[in-house]
A and B are shown apart, each in its own frame.
Chain A
Amino acid sequence: MEEQIFQLQYAMDTFYFLVCGALVMWMAAGFAMLEAGLVRSKNTTEILTKNVALFSVACIMYLVCGYAVMYGGPVLLSGIEGGDSLVADALASKVEEGFDGGSVYSGASDFFFQVVFVATAMSIVSGAVAERMKLWAFLAFAVVMTGFIYPLEGSWTWGGNAVFGLYTLGDMGFSDFAGSGIVHLAGATAALAGVILLGPRFGKYSADGSIKGIPGANLPLATLGTFILWLGWFGFNGGSVLKLSDVASANSVAMVFLNTNAAAAGGLVAALLVARFMFGKADLTMALNGALAGLVAITAEPSTPTALQATLFGALGGVLVVLSIVGLDKLKIDDPVGAISVHGSCGILGLLLVPITNDASTFVGQIVGGLTIFVWVFVASFIVWMALKAIIGLRVSEEEEAEGVDVSECGLEAYPEFTK
């Protein structure tokens, strides 16, 4: 009888992982729609191509070597299906953990859940470099980021390994539940390194210091993308509880869903208000970024805050993201979709909010962890971007940028009607 209950737990926890993984996969659609809506129509096809391709590259590279780098185990996932002793091994683990202990689930489901996180981190970069980067340079970077750069910092954090053998973040009180730092800050850092080497879009910043607004072509898509990301985030944070099959875990999952939603709501309203206050109008694009900012801010610890705290943490993210977007423009760092602000600035915020409600973490641990991730990803990414710049070039030509990268990189217009 106990064995059957253990089997049910295994099945339930595996199923939960798979469903959450599928929800996070759906975030890829969210990113694609959000970015497609915020670039100009002449650059839409290219950013969509970037999004579908990076997701696939991430899945393949993580399968080939990323998962092995991050968690040890065999390259090319050999043996992940389990073999003849699968059931016996699983039951033995379950007996060790017990009903209330750590969850035991299918290795394949673990990979599936992890791989969609890699794709999310990589997807953050695509928006920041939009409208002027060569598609293939971006995809080449994606190969290295998803096969090595992200997995290595993942191995120091969720993987529990020492950072180059020097110190262990977990021992220092570092805690990042679903990845404000590990996923979002990492993606934003890679984006920042790229954008610095890439330069701003032509005409964005003029010599006299003025900044030109370049409106997105399709706000309905941008809004749809945001709502899709919001929905997918329930899997992102919810799945990171790692277990569903007992009362305490189920309750934790429920609180995580609740807090995740509350933070998004807080972030959106805060950003909308700040935009109204600063610019005089209800800027939809800021509101959308605000919802995502709230989500990133709560991602490092969505289970311990109260509902009100989660809302307020999200609101802090919403305020910070608007200020960060304006600030980055002043620094002439051109980020067409606000990715660096949403995922980087608010990723750091998310890490720093954790000790407020989680006693097991410390501010020192969070800062050391954040810095470790930032320095590693920035330096490694910068080197790869520089190498790509030297070998094939990062940026399309001025004519190609004026004509639109849809034509130059993809040979396809996204909205081709009128005389056809």
Chain B
Amino acid sequence: MKLVTAIIKPFKLDDAREALSEIGVQGITVTEVKGFGRQKGHTELYRGAEYVVDFLPKVKIEVAIADDLLDQTLEAITKAANTGKIGDGKIFVTDLLQVIRIRTGETGEDAV
């Protein structure tokens, strides 16, 4: 099983969620985050004084999936979140050691 973590632009969240639903991904966790990659931030003026806005608002999506769904998941997120402009984000894939459904106690692929 894999944990797919994607950092995307906030207004792309709905598109990403729909795309994941379509390929059968049933659960998702969303966090509001701030960050930058090569997009960097920009300088603003507050009452005449400069201050740097380094961190840009993004949304972090986390989905736990069975191995056989990995390629489709990556494709779905990439297509949905892509705008072609800088700051589109990144996807990270990590191995999941164990997954448990709290309500029923199911483990492994049954819990994903």
Which residues of A come within 8 Å of B, CB atoms? Answer: 203, 399, 402, 407, 411-412, 418-419
Contact = CB atoms under 8 A, between A and B. Distances in A.
12 contacts: A203-B11, A203-B14, A399-B85, A402-B10, A402-B11, A411-B44, A411-B45, A412-B44, A412-B46, A419-B34, A419-B54, A419-B55
What are the 5 closest A-B residue pairs judged by CB atoms, nearest first? A402-B11, A411-B44, A419-B55, A419-B34, A411-B45
Nearest to A399: B85
B6 to A, nearest CB: 18
B44 A402 contact: no
Interface in B51-84: 54-55
Contacts, number: 16
A411 B43 CA distance: 9
Contacts of A402: 9-11
A115 B55 CA distance: 44
Contacts of A407: 44
Nearest to A404: B57
A418 B45 contact: no
Contacts of B44: 407, 411-412
A131 to B, nearest CB: 13
Contacts of B9: 402
Contacts of B45: 411
The residue among B9, B44, B45 with the most chain A CB atoms within 10 A of its own CB is: B44
A344 to B, nearest CB: 30
A418 B11 contact: no
Nearest to B44: A411
A139 B10 CA distance: 30
Interface string B7-23: 00111001000000000
Contacts of A399: 85
A399 B9 CA distance: 11
